Amino acid sequence: MNSPSSRHRSMPFEIIGSLAMNNDISKRLFDHLPIANAAWWLTLIAIFSIGFMKPLIFVSNQRLSPVDLLFPLTALLVLASMIVGQISVKFDRSYLYFGAYFGAMLISSIFSLDPTLSFKKLLGEAYLIGLAVLVIVQTTTDSRFRQVSLAWLAGAGVTVFVAFISVILYYFAPGNWLLQYTLYSYGSVPVINFPRISSTMVSASMFCNYLTVGIAIAFVANTKGWIGKWVFRVAVILMILAAISTISIGIGGVFLVLGICIYTTSSIPRARFRRYSMFAAVIIAVVFYLSSFVALKPHSTSPYSFDLPIIGNVQPSPRTLVWTAVLQTIAADPIVGKGLDQPVCAVRFENTDGSYSMLTDAHNIYLSVAGQNGFVGLAALLALIAFLWRIGYRSDDVAVRLLWAAFVSAFIYQGFIGAYEDARHLWVLIGLLVAVSKLGSSTQESLAHCSGV
């Protein structure tokens, strides 16, 4: 016979066991706690603020943005929601590709020249993949897709407003404190009497990349009747103008996404206009990409020059010099690379204002990944890209095709001229593309409310 003390000791375990066995009791205990709803609202706030990278918040000598601070709490709430059954998670093929990409970076970190630094960076990569997963597991209805789209557009609206205010201040109040955050150096761009705007992003090119996605999401919102025709037109025009103010080589991607979206949007009745728009967009994108190989102004750090028909003698651009150096890095360690977060080049370049920069960034997603993580990492990245390409290209859902247009333009195309593999907004886009492709017929709404350009 058990003693009273032993019975008292066993009571907590009996209670826990009975709760675990009785789902009805557990449900009643947690139903009144809006854990999943809280996680969703935090996710929307994070998406709204994903374009606010400046001013940065310093925590323990780490530079963080608002979304970085929101992510841990959001992830914990989502995990808690899964445990209590408020969020159900189903296996998705995208998780295999995420896992393969993360595994490649893990291998690279193990063999890194500086494992400590690489493993710190690996935590950041897990965070980026986590952003995509959070969007996938929570964007389960068309209503939530609508909320995500509007939150993104609202945040983009703030960044565009800051961009236009910065242009005005540049001419009428050049000493204003805001400009120290919103202006960006000209770099290899010729210095002109016009500000180069980065708004709330860390660089002008990143701002251009962010707006590229925003344009596609505006098309989604218009196609599904979530915003009116005139709001859509004004939003797209303002985002294009803000993108032009970045004076970035990525502007080619802005025109590319515009052309693909116009071509994809069946509510635009003029088929010839759609085809011409697509053709013109591709031509502009190609011209911008080819121009990235030559310097727009002669510089003293050029190791050589070459002649081009009609144009004459030109020098290599900083990107050309960087890409050449990164190829040498890849050749030296082709399998697993130098290690995550290791500099893949060291190119000294004279900026157009006469100052000098030491370039250690690959300015190319594919070369950046290959230089840090070798062909193992590049293969994993290309597999993920191919998976996402198939999702959008094979879909009959216009919304999915428009998100695919954003991915093609901002990640694949602009990835050839910028190392955006760690851009938070692109991982949110990846998650959104996967999530919306799974909605199926629930995302197919009547086009009665649709309006064209």
Residue 114 pLDDT greater than 70, yes or no: yes
- 0.85 surpassed by pTM: yes
Measured in whole angstroms, the distance separating CA 136 from the mean position of its chain's CA atoms is 15
d(CA 179, CA 197): 9
d(CA 111, CA 265): 47
What are 6-38's pLDDT values in tens digits? 544 455 445 444 544 455 555 555 555 788 899
Q: Work out the pLDDT band at 170, boundaries 50, 70, 90.
A: very high
- Terminal C-alpha separation, the chain: 82
Phi-psi region of 60 (alpha: psi -120 to 50; beta: other; left: phi over 0): left
3-state helix, strand, coil split of the chain in percent (to 5) is: 65, 5, 30
Q: Work out the pLDDT band at 177, boundaries 50, 70, 90.
A: very high
* DSSP tag of 196: P
Residue 296 pLDDT greater than 90, yes or no: no
The answer to whether the CB of 166 falls within 8 A of the CB of 182 is yes
Residue 442 pLDDT greater than 90, yes or no: no
